[in-house]
Amino acid sequence: MPYVLISTQIRLEVGPTMVGDEHSDPHLMSILGATKRSTLGNNFCEYYVNDAPRVVLDKLESLGYRVVSMTGVGQTLVWCLHRE
């Protein structure tokens, strides 16, 4: 899985950080220390870590991922990363 999306709410820029959806690579999620959870009202799960996005970006960089793009969507910050 060469692409990863991570995001956080602007008011939560120190964490937690959403690092994957229910179909994300379980091995990568384990390396990041992510736990899968479902929010009340959603019919899907997401992986979260308590780290700030900067810490997650540093971990992903050490695993060979590079930021492709970053944007703000409403009150959410989103990063797209790719690994060759």
pLDDT tens figures, 20-54: 999 999 999 999 999 999 888 888 899 999 999 99
Alpha helices per DSSP H over 1-84: 26-32, 53-62
User: What is the Cα–Cα distance from 18 to 51, expressed in whole angstroms?
Assistant: 10
User: What is the Cα–Cα distance from 57 to 74, expressed in whole angstroms?
Assistant: 21
What residues does each domain of the chain span?
Answer: 3-82
Across 7-21, average pLDDT: 84
pTM: 0.87
**What does the block give as tokens for 25?**
């690579």
- Domain 3-82: CATH architecture, name and number where available: 2-Layer Sandwich (3.30)
Instruction: Report the Cα–Cα distance between both ends of the chain, in Å, rounded.
Output: 10
